[in-house]
């Protein structure tokens, strides 16, 4: 049984990683055409770092992801606090609408936001398709993830803690920042991280609301795949892969470390 399950995992992992390995290997290929290996080169990496379009869109992507996930986190955390205190029917109504951007097909969300921005523009408000619309759209699909991450933490929290803090002389603001926020912080952080990654990776919604002045990386990649494809795209994916790998490894090691520490502490206490 053991070898069977091991080989099964191996097969699925091969399936998941084969395309990525192919991309990375061919980023070192001299020939421009896919498929034929003609020799090792680092030219595509060099060209990639001279490709202003790609670098500019990488920058745009990062800025948009940071701005939109920060705003979404603020908005979503406040929203979660308010929603928890709502009456049941109000809460159900708000939550059902909140779920919409998550369960709706992305293309419908993209199209609907595009229609919204076109409509707003036709009313005479100067919204240009580009940075602003992208940030607004990203906040819109990020907020639900923040709410969904923060709500459970709020529910778990003992409300009397907040009251106790006030009884002990905290004003509401202090009570909020000293008692409530630390309690729900893990939810806020995971909501923020989720928003950030979704924002980095989003293509479909961005495709509908982007304009000429601010293309994000996925949109640039899309227009690259629709042309004579240059292996720069492979080099780019190799770099992205390494960055993601490093980040995930770091997070993973950090987690494992923390777990071991807490286990040691528990043992020490025992």
Site membership for another protein, residue 188 (CB under 8 A): no
49 binds another protein (CB under 8 A): yes
Distance CA 172, CA 73 (A): 21
Count how many Cα atoms sit within 13 Å of the Cα of residue 9 in the half-sphere of its side chain.
5
Q: Report residue 99 as tokens.
A: 């779920």
Query: Please, which of residues 125-184 interact with another protein by CB under 8 A?
Result: 128-130, 133, 136-137, 139-140, 143, 147, 159, 162, 172, 175-176, 180
Site for another protein contains 213 (CB under 8 A): yes
- Dist. CA 235–CA 26, nearest whole Å: 8
- For residues 203 and 201, give the distance between their C-alpha atoms in angstroms, rounded to a whole number: 6
Angle at 227 between CA 221 and CA 230, to 5 degrees: 70
Residues 72-111 that bind another protein (CB under 8 A): 75-76, 78-83, 85-86, 90, 94, 97-98, 100-101, 103-109, 111
**Interaction of residue 17 with another protein, rule CB under 8 A:** yes
By CB under 8 A, residue 199 contacts another protein: no
Tokens of 140: 């819109």
Q: Dihedrals φ, ψ of 29, to 5°?
A: -85, 140
- Is residue 35 within the footprint of another protein (CB under 8 A)? yes
List, in sequence order, every beta strand (DSSP E) within 161-257: none
Answer yes or no whether residue 193 interacts with another protein by CB under 8 A: yes
Least spacing, CB of residue 268 vs another protein, in Å: 19
Nearer to another protein, 230 or 269 (CB): 230
Size of the site for another protein (CB under 8 A): 117
Q: Is 264 in the site for another protein (CB under 8 A)?
A: no
- DSSP annotation of 29 reads B
113 makes contact with another protein (CB under 8 A): yes
Nearest C-alpha neighbor of 234 from the set 33, 56, 16, 13: 33
Considering the rule CB under 8 A, would residue 22 count as an interface residue with another protein? yes
Per-residue interface string for the shown chain with another protein, residues 240-259, x marking contact by CB under 8 A = xx-xxxxxxxx-x--xx--x
Q: How many CB atoms lie within 10 A of CB 150?
A: 27
Question: With respect to another protein, which residue has the nearer C-beta, 16 or 268?
Answer: 16
């Amino acid at each position: 049984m053991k070898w069977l399950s091991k080989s099964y995992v191996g097969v699925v992992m091969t399936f998941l990683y084969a395309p990525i390995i192919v991309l990375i290997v061919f980023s070192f290929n001299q020939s421009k055409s896919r498929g034929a290996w003609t020799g090792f080169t680092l030219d595509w990496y060099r060209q990639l770092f001279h490709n202003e379009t790609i670098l500019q869109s990488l920058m745009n992507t990062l800025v948009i992801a940071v701005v939109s996930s920060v705003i979404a986190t603020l908005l979503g955390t406040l929203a979660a606090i308010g929603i928890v205190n709502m009456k049941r029917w109000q809460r159900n109504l708000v939550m059902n609408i909140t779920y919409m951007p998550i369960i709706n097909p992305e293309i419908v969300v993209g199209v609907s936001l595009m229609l919204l921005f076109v409509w707003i523009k036709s009313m005479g408000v100067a919204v240009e398709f580009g940075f602003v619309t992208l940030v607004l759209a990203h906040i819109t699909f990020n907020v639900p993830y923040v709410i969904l991450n923060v709500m459970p933490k709020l529910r778990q929290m003992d409300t009397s803690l907040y009251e106790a803090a006030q009884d002990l002389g905290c004003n509401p603001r202090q009570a909020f920042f000293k008692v409530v926020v630390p309690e729900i912080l893990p939810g806020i952080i995971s909501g923020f991280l989720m928003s950030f990654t979704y924002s980095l990776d989003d293509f479909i919604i961005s495709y509908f609301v982007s304009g000429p002045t601010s293309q994000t990386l996925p949109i640039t990649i899309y227009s690259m795949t629709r042309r004579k494809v240059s292996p720069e795209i492979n080099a780019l994916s190799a770099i992205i892969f390494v960055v993601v790998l490093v980040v995930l490894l770091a997070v993973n090691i950090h987690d494992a470390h923390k777990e071991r520490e807490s286990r040691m502490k528990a043992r020490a206490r025992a």
